[in-house]
Amino acid sequence: AQRVTQPEKLLSVFKGAPVELKCNYSYSGSPELFWYVQYSRQRLQLLLRHISRESIKGFTADLNKGETSFHLKKPFAQEEDSAMYYCALTRGFKTIFGAGTRLFVKA
Amino acid sequence: GAGVSQTPSNKVTEKGKYVELRCDPISGHTALYWYRQSLGQGPEFLIYFQGTGAADDSGLPNDRFFAVRPEGSVSTLKIQRTERGDSAVYLCASSTRTGRTEAFFGQGTRLTVV
């Protein structure tokens, strides 16, 4: 079965420190993977998708098919990065979300 | 409006009552999705519409849940005989087409069954 696992519920880092939010998936085909973010009191929004290989707000994510991972990374965390982050896998028209990781960036 | 709109933003209902949750997608978006998000969990897929038809309702938990989109725009999620376990945030999203394009989410309806 398709599944997205985010092993950390909470990740706390200091401003300026590197951050990595882990995501592992299980999927038998070629996955389409995304990271969504939800800032405080805002709606869920797309952060980035693996097919575009883009960097948004300094975040990048590389799909590692061998390890079935799609970790989200940023070299220098900012306070405004504090939010809930969800890794998601799309199969056809159905998107499966992980449970989310709350990132807290301390001053 | 510019984004996906959901009404009401909050709904408190008594166990056993019937509720309707409304979603107004972005104009021109043919794909519409409903998700349910329980506390501490990510959004869980409920149903997907392409136009007026429900292309996949495999995520609806049981027959108390039903959704319609009669004119291919506004959608209503209907829950009969509500139970306390139905309490959650119900999210709606829309996109121009399926899967590979960005889905835009509404702010959600927080349903509380007491």
User: Domains in chain A, ordered, with CATH?
Assistant: 3-106 (2.60.40.10)
CATH number at residue B106: 2.60.40.10
- The answer to whether B102 and B95 are in contact (CB under 8 A) is yes
Taking an 8 Å cut-off on Cβ atoms, the answer to whether B43 and A94 are in contact is no
- Mean pLDDT of all residues in A28-41: 89
Question: Tens digit of pLDDT for each residue in A36-75?
Answer: 999 999 999 999 988 777 788 999 998 898 899 999 999 9
With bands split at pLDDT 50, 70 and 90, how would you rate the model's confidence at B98? Answer: low
> Residue B16's pLDDT is what?
98
pLDDT > 90: what percent of chain B?
81
**Secondary structure of chain B: what % helix, strand, coil (to 5)?**
5, 50, 50
pLDDT at residue B38 tops 80: yes
Closest approach of A95 to chain B, Cα-based (Å): 7
Nearest CB neighbour to A45, from listed B35, B100, B105: B105
Whether residue B53 is predicted with pLDDT greater than 60 in this model: the reply is yes
Whether chain A has a CB inside 8 Å of the CB on B25: the answer is no
Tell me the shortest Cα–Cα distance from A54 to chain B, in angstroms.
Answer: 14
CA quadruple B113, B75, B59, B29: dihedral positive or negative?
negative
Q: Which chain B residues contact residue A100 at CB under 8 A?
A: 41-42
Burial of A7 (0-12, 13-18, 19+ CB in 10 A): exposed
Picking from A64, A77, A80, A75, the residue whose alpha carbon sits closest to that of residue A23 is: A64
Answer whether A32 sits within 8 Å of B100, measured CB to CB. Answer: yes
Could you tell me what percent of chain B has a pLDDT over 70? 96
Residues pairing with A4 in the sheet: A25
Residues of the domain holding B47: 5-113
CB contact under 8 A, B45 and A96: yes
Residue A44 to residue B102, Cβ atoms within 8 A: no
Least confident among A71-75, B53-57, B99-103: B99-103
**Mean residue pLDDT across chain B:** 93
Return the pLDDT at A28: 79
In contact, A34 and A49? CB cutoff 8 Å: yes
Residue A43: what pLDDT? 94
Average pLDDT, chain A: 92
pLDDT given at position B27: 93
Into how many domains does chain B fold?
A: 1
pLDDT at B99: 56
Q: Is A85's pLDDT higher than 90?
A: yes
Distance from CA of B18 to the nearest CA of A (A): 26
Do A96 and A4 touch, CB atoms closer than 8 A? yes
Q: Per the CB < 8 Å rule, is B99 touching A93?
A: yes
pLDDT of res. B36: 97
Say yes or no to pLDDT of B73 above 70. yes
Tell me which of A25-29, B24-28, B35-39 is least confident.
A25-29
Residue B19: partners with Cβ closer than 8 Å, 6 or more residues away? B11, B13, B78, B79, B82, B111
Phi-psi region of B81 (alpha: psi -120 to 50; beta: other; left: phi over 0): left
